[in-house]
Every structure is written in structure tokens, then in C-alpha cells.
Amino acid sequence: MSGNILENIAATKRREVAAMKKLIPFEQLREQVSDVSREVISMRGSILNHEVGIIAEHKRRSPSRGEISPMSEVGEIAESYAKSGAAAMSVLTDTPYFGGALTDLAVARVAAPSLPLLRKEFIVDEYQIYQARIFGADAILLIAAMISGEEIRQLNDMAHELGMQTLVEIHSLSELKSVPHDADMVGVNNRDLTSFSTDISNSALLVDRLPSGIVKIAESGIKTPEDVKRLKTIGFDGFLIGEAFMSTLDPGGTLRKFIDDNRVR
């Protein structure tokens, strides 16, 4: 993919949302949300209450790695993550770049009813937040590199109005100003979304600058239990991990090893 990858993804996502609005008008989504009675599970609370707060991700492919696990069944993965001790699950719902689907969220919700679910998506419009609530998400991702600080604040407020929590993702110190004071979690992405290059040391550079009291999540490039141990030592509460699990034959078993290796002895 040429040029700025994130700009390409954002343009694709805005076209997608515009097309979906023609098929299902926003007002129809609002009506559907009013019928959703399921109580949201606190992802923030789950991470803080776990000895090792791993957010295990379902990912079929990515622009940087290509195919990872194209035939994986999200329901089976969700069930294995829940049984193996994940604090939460991240479900990629982007289709063109990651091979996910909004229906994956609904399948994961049924398979793991007590596991907090994050809709991992490139969110550019409140329409996507309503979708997330309807399809079973407990939290949404907001990416500072993709949308403005004002848009993040508006979308953060909308998610809270619908009872969901927010994970606001930053990659650089300059993006920290985009994190709303009432965001539930802040994530430091070790992957530069303009190029998709990854450097896990980015987490260490930013952790001390994150707001005190907010749940701190390290994202991307976490490949071993030792990586989790190091990141935990410097102050991170949670760890979003996908490829290290999904590139194995037993994602749930690999997750369990990460947790076992990081238990307090």
C-alpha cells in the first residue's frame, strides 16, 4: 500500500460509513439501540482486577503482516480466550485491511458472554459507536492519529452516553492532548500507523507522561511473556496482544502461557 497507510484507511472508512448510512439510516440505529437491554461489562474494571490484564485480540490479517489466521473462527477464539483468563477481548471489525466484520463482534459476544469486548475499528463517525453497542461491544477504540481532539471528545461523550467505555490510542507525546479527561483507558501504540513500523520501546518513552489514575494499555509489538513483564514493571496495567496469539495453532493456550509466566509467585 503506497502513501500514508492511515490516510488510506480513513478515506476507505468514511466511504464505508456513508454507504452504510444509505442502507440503514442513522435514525434506525438509534431506535435499535433503545432496544438493547444488555448491561455493559466494565473493561477498565476487568483489567484492573486481573493479575495480568491482557486484552487478547482476534485478527485474521494486517497490512504489515498480511495473512495471519484467515480461516479462524471468532467464536472458538473468543471461547478459548475467556477460558484461558483474558481480561478482555479485542475484535477487529475492519474488513478491507484486517479481514474482520461487524458480525464477528456479535459472534464473540454469544461465545463469551462475560468477557468485556472492545470493538477494534477505525472509528470516524458516531454511527460506528451505535453499531458497536448494538452488536455487543463494551468499549470502543478512538485513534488520535486518525481524528482530531475535538472529534475524540465528541465520540468519547457519545460512547459514555450509550454506557460504553473508551480506549483512546496515542503514538506520540503530541497526541496526548487529544485524550479527554474522562477517557476510561489510554493506549500507547508501539506501531506507527502511518507506516505500520513497530518499536516496543515507544511505550517506555511515553508511560511516565500519561495521566495519573488512568488505566494504561500497551499495544502492538508485544511478542513474549517477558515483554509483558517489562511493560508491567514500568507502569502499564493492560496489554493488547493479537499477532503473538493468532499466529499460533493454539491462541488460547499461548495466552495462558503469557499469563502463567507473569503471575506473582
Question: Catalytic residue positions?
Answer: 57, 59, 120, 169, 189, 219-220
Q: What distance in Å separates the CA atoms of residue 235 and residue 177, rounded to the nearest whole number?
A: 20
Q: Cβ atoms within 10 A of the Cβ of 262, count?
A: 18
Q: From the CA atom positions of the chain, what is the Rg in Å?
A: 17
Q: Closest Cα to residue 211, out of 232, 238, 187?
A: 187
Cell of 73: 473462527
- Rounded to 10°, the helix 5-23/126-135 angle is 70
Following CA atoms 118, 229, 180, 57 in sequence, which dihedral angle do they give, to the nearest 10 degrees? -20
Q: What is the C-alpha separation between 28 and 32, in angstroms, rounded? A: 6
